[in-house]
Structure 1
Amino acid sequence: MKRSAILMIIGSLLLLGLFYFPLWNIRLAAPQYPDPMGMDIFISGIVGEEEFDIQNIDGVNHYIGMKKIPKPEEMWEFQVFPMVIAVMAALGVLVGLLGFFKKIHPSWFLGWFILMIILGTLGMYDFNNWLLDYGTDLDPKAIIKLTDKEGNPINYKPPLLGTQDILNFTAHSYPRIGAYLMFVGMFLTLIAWWIRKKAFKNHR
């Protein structure tokens, strides 16, 4: 059972990587930009892959009426997400320690994992809503106004995951190292629950 507790602690601590590594990345490539423009999305803010990427993306978006890339203080998510990750990491470590001393049932391990799944799903839903608002809430006074065949404004929403053509740009949206550390951590906690559940049954 100690092995499962150690895995639970390690898996939970891997969440702390989100404080140092980006969770997601969106990159825009176009013929007129030999070097693609990109932005790394952290749990506490958005930064450009290169020094002037955010400035250049905002400049391009200005012509079609898109909002500027938000600063950390302009989105409540960048205030709340770090606290959520810190609490979940601490809770996971606590569950692991209690498991190490055989003070809790294996279901606590699974409960932590399920809670992370729920929080992660809500986070992705919120992120997708932000992308939708970012790509559709356009300034009616924009310099360039493009519409589809029905006369409706074109949707400039980047994909939540994958690659998509937006006018002459190709947008790429994929997880970064912070997300992979989180996925590995969650997988370790799932393994920890399975090991602990099996050992618990054998000792009954």
Structure 2
Amino acid sequence: MKKASILMILGSLLLLGLFVFPLWNIELGAPQYPEPLGMDIYIDGIQGQNEFDIQNIDGLNHYIGMKTLPKPEEMWEFTVFPLVIGGMAALGVLIGLLGYFKKVSHKWFFGWLILMTVLGVLGMYDFNAWMTDYGTNLDPKAIMKLANPDGTPMSYKPPLLGHKKMLNFDAYSYPRLGAYLMFLGMALTFVAGYLGWKRPERP
């Protein structure tokens, strides 16, 4: 159980990487931009991949009526997500310590993992909802009004994961190092729960 508990603690601590490294990245490439435009999404805000990327993306979005990229104080998620991640990391470490001293069983490890998975799914749902609003709720007074072949307004929603063609831009959306550290941490907590289940009494 001690080895399982140490893995539980290490897995939980890996969540703290989200305070340093980006969770997600969206990149826009087009022939007129030799270097793609991109934005790194952190749990507490959005930063440009390069120095002027945010200004350039907002400038492009202005012509088609998209909102400017939100600042940290403009989205409740950028205040709540750090609290959730910090709380889950602290809770995981506490459960790991209690497991080390045989105060709780491996079931608590799995319980933490299930809760973290639910929170992750809700976070992705919220992220996708934000992108949907961002890409479809356009200013009717925009300079450019583009429509699909059937006459419906064109959507500029970036893909949640993968590649999407938007006009002459190729949009790419993929996890970054913070997300991979989180996934690794969750994998370690699963291994911890498995070891605690298979060998609960071993030191």
Q: TM-score, normalised by structure 1?
A: 0.98
Residue 149 in structure 1 maps to residue 113 in structure 2: no
Within 5 A, what are the aligned runs for 1:30-179? 30-179=30-179
2:119 aligns to what SS in structure 1?
helix
Alpha-carbon displacement from aligned partner over 1:89-114 (angstroms, at most 9, x marks no partner) = 00000000000000012110000000
In 2, Cα distance between the equivalents of 1:103 and 1:113? 18
> Per the alignment, in what secondary structure is the counterpart of residue 170 of structure 1?
strand
Q: Distance in 1 between matches of 2:105 and 2:9?
A: 16
Residues of 2 paired with 1:105 and 1:36: CA distance? Answer: 49
Deviation at 1:152, TM superposition (A): 1.2
Q: Point out where structure 1 has 5 or more consecutive residues left out of the alignment.
A: none
Taking the aligned partners of 2:175 and 2:164, their CA distance within structure 1 comes to 15
Q: Residue 186 of structure 1 aligns to a residue in which SS? A: helix
CA distance in 2 between counterparts of 1:49 and 1:169 reads: 17
**What SS does structure 2 have at the residue aligned with 1:36?**
strand
Q: Determine helix, strand or coil for the equivalent of 2:47.
A: strand
**Is the aligned partner of 1:7 residue 2:36?**
no
Q: CA offsets, 1:5-63, max 9 Å, x none? A: 00000000000000000000000000000100000000000000111000000000100
Equivalent pairs: percent with the same residue? 68
Give structure 1 regions of 4+ aligned residues with deviation exceeding 3 angstroms: none
CA RMSD of the aligned region, Å? 0.8
CA deviation profile, 1:117-171 (whole Å, cap 9, x unmatched): 0000000000000000000000000000001122211010000000110000000
The answer on 1:22 being equivalent to 2:22 is: yes
2:199 aligned counterpart, secondary structure: helix
TM-score (norm 2): 0.98
3-state SS, counterpart of residue 154 of structure 1: coil
Structure 1 residue identity aligned to 2:180: Y
Aligned length: 202
Alignment-mate amino acid for residue 107 of structure 1: K
Q: Distance in 1 between matches of 2:51 and 2:155?
A: 28
Partners of 1:106 and 1:145 lie apart in 2 by 57
Give secondary structure in 2 for the equivalent of 1:28. strand
Cα distance in 2, alignment partners of residues 173 and 148 from structure 1 = 23
AA in 2 matched with 1:71: K
